[in-house]
């Protein structure tokens, strides 16, 4: 029997069957391999992201082990305090205390994650924050891959589920652009951070883009 082509046209595009050899010394297409009535396109790639560009490395973590590893390797350390804040201060202190200079970095560089919920007013931001908590509870406490309904999530919040969600959102700047600016400055000092990783929590793409622009403008005016 004649082998079929290694591709087929579908409703959404072209489906291609391939046998890919990674970590090759070159990028190449080696032709078509036939297996009975099936055929595959054979290719090889140099699967090395950023090869030759000297992309700077950062280590993101939320534990003391990550802090120790970043310090030993002489890498910048980013702490995921925007959702796992528990060990922020201890991890930063550990990293700074154990840091060894490297070819990439001469002195410690700490980045700390922080949430931003920005609104036109404090009340609007607080309302968005509550909707975000409802959405997070719905996702965290759903069963069999199905999130809770908003009504079920609201009930879970009233029953105490909010404690875990509140802990995840410990470091959050909530309010107007001025409120956010003031909080971010305080947080950077409290976290002993050189830079901040700002996560814009929003209930829509439009609000997230507005939050990014307003925060950038507020911080540039600071």
Q: How far apart are CA 57 and CA 70, in angstroms?
A: 10
> Are both 86 and 184 inside the same structural domain?
yes
CATH code for the domain of 99: 3.20.20.30
Could you tell me if 47 and 61 lie in one domain?
no
Q: Identify whether residues 106 and 31 lie together within a single domain.
A: no
Measured between alpha carbons, how far is 164 from 146 in angstroms, rounded to an integer? 19
pLDDT of residue 106: 97
- Banded model confidence at residue 1, pLDDT cuts 50, 70, 90: low
* Same domain as 84, residue 63: yes
- Total number of domains constituting the chain: 2
Q: Are residues 133 and 41 in the same domain?
A: no
Share of the chain above pLDDT 90, in %: 57
The total of other beta-carbon atoms located within 10 Å of residue 34's CB is 12
- Report whether 47 contacts 65 (CB < 8 A): no
Distance CA 143, CA 132 (A): 19
Q: How far is CA 106 from CA 121, 182, 193, in A?
A: 43, 30, 16
Q: How confident is the model at residue 8 (pLDDT cuts 50, 70, 90)?
A: confident
In degrees, rounded to 5, the angle at the alpha carbon of residue 99 between the alpha carbons of residues 65 and 80 is: 45
Position 104 confidence tier, pLDDT thresholds 50, 70, 90: very high
Q: Can you give the pTM of this predicted structure?
A: 0.74
CA distance 179 to 218: 10
* Per-residue pLDDT at 22 exceeds 80: no
pLDDT of residue 3: 63
Could you tell me if 108 and 132 are in contact, meaning their C-beta atoms sit under 8 angstroms apart? Answer: no
Q: Which helix (H) or strand (E) holds 34?
A: strand 28-35
Residues 20, 72 within the same domain: no
The parent domain of residue 49 ranges over: 1-55
Mean pLDDT throughout 193-197? 97
Residue 114 sits in the same domain as residue 146? yes
Tens digit of each residue's pLDDT (9 = 90 or more) over 138-166: 888 888 778 888 888 888 888 876 788 88
Query: What pLDDT, on the 0 to 100 scale, is given for residue 71?
Result: 97
DSSP conformation class of 178? H
pLDDT at 98 (0 to 100): 97
Which is it for strands 18-21 and 110-118: parallel, antiparallel or unpaired? unpaired
pLDDT(112) > 80: yes
Which residue has better confidence, 25 or 150?
150
How much is the pLDDT for 222?
58
d(CA 124, CA 218): 18
């Amino acid at each position: 029997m004649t082998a079929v082509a290694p591709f087929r046209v579908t409703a959404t595009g072209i489906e291609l069957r391939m046998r890919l050899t990674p970590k090759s010394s070159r990028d190449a297409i080696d032709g078509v391999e036939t297996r009975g009535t099936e055929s595959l396109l054979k290719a090889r790639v140099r699967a090395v992201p950023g090869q030759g560009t000297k992309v700077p490395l950062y280590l993101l973590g939320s534990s003391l082990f990550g802090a120790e590893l970043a310090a030993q390797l002489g890498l910048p350390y980013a702490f995921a305090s925007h959702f796992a804040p528990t060990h922020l201060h201890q991890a930063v202190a550990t990293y700074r205390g154990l840091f060894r200079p490297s070819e990439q970095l001469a002195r410690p560089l700490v980045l700390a994650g922080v949430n931003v919920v920005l609104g036109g007013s404090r009340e609007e931001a607080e309302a968005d924050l509550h909707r975000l908590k409802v959405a997070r509870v719905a996702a965290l406490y759903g069963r069999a891959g199905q999130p809770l309904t908003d009504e079920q999530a609201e009930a879970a919040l009233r029953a105490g589920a909010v404690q875990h969600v509140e802990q995840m959102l410990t470091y959050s700047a909530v309010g107007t652009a001025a409120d956010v600016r003031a909080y971010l400055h305080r947080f950077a000092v409290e976290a002993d951070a050189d830079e901040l990783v700002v996560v814009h929590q929003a209930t829509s793409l439009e609000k997230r883009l507005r939050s990014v622009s307003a925060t950038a403008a507020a911080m540039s005016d600071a």
